[in-house]
Amino acid sequence: MKINKILNGSELLVELSGRLDTNSSPILENELKNNLNNVKLLIFDFKELMYISSAGLRVILSTQKIMTKQGDMVIKNPNELIMEVFDATGFTDILIIDKT
């Protein structure tokens, strides 16, 4: 998985590509722990994310809990496979997802 972060004031854009799975989830978790201070809006761009496992979902959920306390989190550009996973797990009910 590749992670690209762009910080613009209190807005952090995190672009993910590849697979968010058991191997890459700890890397993303560490990146987020070190970069969420003073972030009011966290945007994940999943345009290039091809796969997400339960380990990836756990990182997304724990990040959502953090952002609920300090601002907002938005998921942008999820593909059909990612949306199927979000639908099946109920994540569509708890996440802000922008499909445009």
* Tens-digit pLDDT profile for residues 9-67: 999 999 999 999 999 999 999 999 888 999 999 999 999 999 999 999 999 999 999 99
* CA 46/CA 95 separation, integer angstroms: 13
Beta strands in 28-71 (DSSP E): 41-52
Which residue in this structure is represented by tokens 């799975």?
21
Q: What is the pTM assigned to this prediction?
A: 0.94
Residue 78 exposure: Cα atoms within 13 Å on the Cβ side: 21
pLDDT in the model for residue 34 = 83
Residue extents of the structural domains in the chain = 2-98
For the domain spanning 2-98, the CATH number is 3.30.750.24
Beta strands in the chain (DSSP E): 2-8, 11-20, 41-52, 72-76, 96-98
Contact 64, 87 (CB under 8 A): no
Nearest to 92 by CA among 63, 60, 68: 60
